Structure 1
Amino acid sequence: MSDLPTLPVTFRPGRTRAVLLTAGVVIFVVISGVSLLLEQLGPGERLSFVVTGALSFWVLAQLARVKVVADDSGVTVVNIASRRHLDWAEILRVNLRPGDAWVFLDLSDGTSLPALGIQPGIARERAIADARALRTLVEARSLRDPEQDQG
């Protein structure tokens, strides 16, 4: 299984992340700059412009923080507002079907967990390769775990 990525490995939408963070910085700089250029604004109004720009940047940074981290202990899925660690045995299948906005992990408890760290939005080929790599890791780890339990 030489196709297996070396652990730990982090999957994240690099281009999407770059676009979101760049847009956040530009929005912050433009809104803050406008607050400084408008001479009729008082200090409180200027501050509200800067806070609005900072809040816009923070929202875009939260959207950019999504990732999937695979290590020896399992997989950690970091989505926009949540973080969840899964043991390898909890993941039954990695799905990225045509038309899906991101990967879904089918779990042993019967639920499905979206993994926004692998999404085909801007870089479709990269997302497909990442989904395959994660699927290969899940299959390899789920096959290996029962052998370790018997030993």
Structure 2
Amino acid sequence: MSAPDAPPVPLPSLPVTFRPTRTRVVLYAVGIAQLAALTAIALALPKLSGGERISFILTGALVLAVLLLLGRPKVVARPEGVTVVNLTTKRELAWAQIVRVNLRVGDAWVHLDLADGTSLPAMGIQPGIARDQAIRDARALRDLVENHGAVDHTAL
């Protein structure tokens, strides 16, 4: 939150996408390095059969696919509402459906309290590697929710 004397922080212009950029860079780099290493090993070992070489490369591709999946989460705010993309799910929300944006100490990611009484994890804003950026993103999303019609937003 800003100090009373500080000028108000302007709302980000829509559409805006929140995602854990540093985490994605690490995941993608590790996945590509893993695939490259396993491919190099498969090609460098002369006593491997064709099937063994393929299994090395497929293992590297599988590791890369899992890491790409872990890098998928994002939160997209548009004039119409918010899209939350988590590992395997995608959910479209109208602004009025979001009651509160929560990022408490120790949370792995933001949680959105919804008007129907449920909570939706928004894994696209996570403080893992970039805590300060996640706090800024959570506050920006909270401010957008407040500006676009939700009721109570005091949980940051």
**TM-score by structure 2 length?**
0.89
**1:13-46 Cα distance to aligned partner (Å, 9 max, x none):** 1111100000000000001111111111111111
The answer to whether structure 1 residue 51 and structure 2 residue 58 are counterparts is: yes
Are residue 106 (structure 1) and residue 113 (structure 2) matched? yes
1:6 paired to 2:13: yes
Q: Distance in 2 between the 1:35 and 1:109 partners? A: 53
Provide the rounded CA distance (Å) in 1 between the counterparts of 2:47 and 2:53: 10
3-state SS of 1:142 partner: coil
Equivalent position to 2:30, from 2, 5, 23: 23
- 1:2 Cα deviation after fit: 6.3
2:67 equivalent in structure 1: 60
Question: 1:72 aligns to what?
Answer: 79
Alpha-carbon displacement from aligned partner over 1:46-97 (angstroms, at most 9, x marks no partner): 1111111001000000001110000011100111111111111110000000
Distance 1:2 1:110 in 2: 30
CA distance in 1, matches of 2:116, 2:35: 43
Distance 1:2 1:117 in 2: 21
Letter in 2 for 1:93: R
The structure where helix makes up a greater share of residues is: 1
Unaligned stretches of 5+ residues in structure 1: 144-151
1:122 aligns with 2:129: yes
One-letter amino acid of the counterpart of residue 121, structure 2:
P
TM-score by length of 1: 0.92
Structure 1 position 96 matched with structure 2 position 103 = yes
> Separation in 1 of the partners of 2:9 and 2:109?
26
Q: How many residues of Structure 1 are paired with residues of Structure 2 in the alignment?
A: 143
- Offset from partner CA, 1:96-143 (integer Å, 9 cap, x none): 001111000001111100001000111110000000000000000016
Separation of aligned partners in 2, 1:2 and 1:35: 53
Mapped to 2, the partners of 1:41 and 1:84 lie a distance apart of 46
Percentage identity across aligned positions?
59
What's the Cα RMSD here? Answer: 1.1
Q: How far does residue 4 in structure 1 lie from its aligned partner after superposition? A: 0.9
Runs of 4+ in 1 over 4 A off after TM superposition: none
Per the alignment, residue 83 of structure 1 pairs with 90
